[in-house]
Amino acid sequence: MKNKKTYAVDNVLSISEAIFKVDNRSFDLKPLFPKNFKGKVIINVEQVSDIDQSFSSIKEDLLFLLEEKVYSDFIFSLKTNDNKINHHYDEVFSMAVSSEKKLLVFSSIDVPYVAKGPIPESKIDYVEFSKILNLYFIIIERNSILTGCNKMQVFDAYGALGFAIIDIDEFDAFVSQKSSSNDLIEEFTTTEIANELFDKGLMILSWGHTPWVYYINSSNLKDIVVLMGEYTGYYGFYNFRNLQKKYSVIPGNELRNWNDCKNKDWPLIEINGIGDYVLMKLYIKKAVSQSDSDYPIPTFHLERFDKKIHDIEPLLQSNILDA
């Protein structure tokens, strides 16, 4: 049995009430918010048979907060400030508990990969606002432990030049023979090398995006769309060889200096599924905001297929602010 609900809020200061009740006890969640936290908040309330079915299973770094036996229904209530302009939460969500279960509470803070190194002082506020606090309240039906997180998610900032997903060694072996320039963006826009890389299944390239922080996700959880939000209609379909390994996810602007780029450490991702075709779809979870519009939290979701379900077509333009 699975039962899941996900809430997204643009700022902890927007939350006026966040409480869960179980076994005639009430717990205020606001003390769980880090002091002076400026980023977004995603709250996941889940009932699962096994912990690997939880959204927490896609995180590499989880902070354990609480473990309790529970015997009665779990009730979660969330209220956010209503500015009479935009959406707000005033919800109560309950999950039936008919026999002894376990409640687990975890947290995790996502920081853009680019910000895990030294940060210029001028960028500190930007990084703080781009962080996402994830809280997990999980009713689990049997004892189990996380079996270890596969690399199914990357979180980073990408500009208009987007990102490339490649096996660096395979990719480098090809471009070192074909490219006359160290600037691969120039090569992609003035020669046929990008099309050749697509044809040989050596690259997923996507650009023309709204400069923003994005998740790139390849989880095979069947209900992952609950976490990712609404499908925007933007997609790309790629020939991408299944090398049975993890691939580097590289910001597009870094391809302007390939000799430096290929020697850097980049986040890695596995791509779930079987076959040599990859479908990438763009989703948006809108965080309730006190400003004029809700804050988009976008996710590119990747999945392999063993047959050609679309024409080969890279995603070279999207706009998350109009989606």
Tokens found for residue 48: 């699962």
**Each residue of 110-137: pLDDT tens digit?**
999 999 888 889 989 999 999 999 999 9
* pLDDT-above-70 percentage for the chain: 96
Give the residue-averaged pLDDT of 57-81: 91
The alpha-carbon radius of gyration of the chain (Å, integer) is 21
Query: Is the pLDDT confidence value at 148 over 60?
Result: no
Find all residues with CB under 8 Å of 214, minimum gap 6, and list them: 155, 156, 157, 158, 298, 299, 300
Give the C-alpha separation, 178 to 157, whole Å: 29
pLDDT at 1: 43
Beta pairing partners, 213: 157
* Average pLDDT, integer, range 290-306: 92
* Other Cβ atoms closer than 10 A to 318: 21
Predicted pLDDT at 87 = 77
Mean pLDDT for the stretch of residues 34-45 = 94
3-state SS, the chain, equals: CCEEEEEEECCHHHEEEEEEEECCEEEECHHHCCCCCCCEEEEEEEEECCHHHCHHHHCCCCEEEEEEEECCCEEEEEEECCCCCCCCCEEEEEECCCCCEEEEEEEEEECCHHHHCCCCHHHHHHHHHHCEEEEEEEEECCCCCCCCCCCCEEEEEECCCCEEEECHHHHHHHHHHHCCCCCHHHHHHHCCHHHHHHHCCCCEEECCCCCEEEEEECCCCCCHHHHHCEEEEEEEEEECCCCCCCEEEEEHHHHHHHHHHCCCCCCEECCCCCCCEEEEEEEEEEEECCCCCCEEEEEEEEEEECCCCCCCECCCCCCCCCC
pLDDT at 191: 95
pLDDT at residue number 84: 67
CA–CA separation, 3 vs 138, rounded Å? 10
pLDDT at 2: 54
Size (the chain), residues: 323
Q: pLDDT per residue over 200-231, tens digit each?
A: 999 999 999 999 999 999 999 989 999 999 99
In this prediction, residue 147 has a pLDDT band, given cuts at 50, 70 and 90, of: low
Chain-centre distance for alpha carbon 264? 22
Please choose, from the candidates 41, 10, 45, the residue with its C-alpha nearest in 3D space to the C-alpha of residue 27. 45
Contact 110, 21 (CB under 8 A): no
Mean pLDDT, to the nearest integer, of 16-32? 92
pLDDT value, residue 205: 98
pLDDT of residue 22 exceeding 60: yes
